[in-house]
C-alpha cells in the first residue's frame, strides 16, 4: 500500500485538529484555541483544507464515496453550528465528523489501491496468485 502526499497532508491536517481539541478538553485552552468558537474555527479551516485534498475521491461512484460526501457535508454544517452556538456537544460532534470523513477518505484510497493492484483474472499485477 502506498500513501500519497495528499494522504499524508490530510492526515497531518486532521491531527492538527484532533490534538488541539484533546488539549482543549484536558486544559481548557491551548495556543490559538481559547474557547469552543476558536476550536470550531480552527477545525473548519483545517478540515476544509484536508477535504480539498481528497475531494476527487468523494465524487466517484460508490457507497463509500457517497458516505464520505455526506459526512463531509455534515462536518461543515456541524462546524458552522459549533461556531455559531459555541456549544461543546456540537463541537464534539464536529470533530467526530471530521475524523469519520478522513477515515472514509483513507478507506476509499486503500480500496482503490487494492483494486488497481489486482487484475480481473484474480492474480496480482505481478502475476502471482
What pTM did the predictor assign? 0.80
CA-based diameter of the chain, in Å? 57
Secondary structure element (H or E) that encloses residue 60, with its range: none
- CA dist 15 and 10 (Å) reads 9
pLDDT band at residue 95, thresholds of 50, 70 and 90?
A: very high
How far is Cα 3 from Cα 11, in angstroms, rounded to an integer?
11
Contacts within 8 Å (CB) and 24+ apart, 114-123: 114/1
Beta-bridge mates of residue 118: 124
Mean pLDDT of 111-122: 61
Q: For residue 123, give every residue at least 6 positions away whose Cβ sits within 8 Å of its Cβ, in sequence order, or none.
A: 129
CB 129 within 8 A of CB 123: yes
Q: Is the pLDDT of residue 4 over 90?
A: no
pLDDT for the residue 100: 93
State the DSSP code for 18: H
pLDDT at 68 over 90: no
| pLDDT tens, position by position, 37-57 | 999 999 999 999 988 887 666
| pLDDT > 90: percent of the chain | 43
Task: Write out the three cell numbers for 28.
Answer: 481548557
Amino acid at each position: 500500500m502506498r500513501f500519497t502526499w495528499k494522504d499524508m497532508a490530510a492526515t497531518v491536517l486532521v491531527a492538527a485538529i484532533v490534538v488541539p481539541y484533546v488539549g482543549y478538553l484536558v486544559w481548557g485552552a491551548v495556543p490559538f484555541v481559547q474557547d469552543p468558537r476558536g476550536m470550531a474555527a480552527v477545525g473548519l479551516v483545517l478540515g476544509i483544507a484536508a477535504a480539498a485534498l481528497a475531494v476527487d475521491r468523494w465524487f466517484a461512484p460508490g457507497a463509500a464515496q457517497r458516505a464520505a460526501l455526506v459526512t463531509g457535508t455534515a462536518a461543515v454544517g456541524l462546524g458552522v453550528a459549533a461556531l455559531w452556538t459555541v456549544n461543546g456537544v456540537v463541537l464534539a460532534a464536529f470533530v467526530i465528523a471530521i475524523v469519520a470523513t478522513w477515515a472514509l477518505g483513507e478507506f476509499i484510497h486503500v480500496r482503490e489501491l487494492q483494486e488497481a493492484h489486482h487484475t480481473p483474472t484474480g492474480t496480482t499485477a505481478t502475476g502471482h496468485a
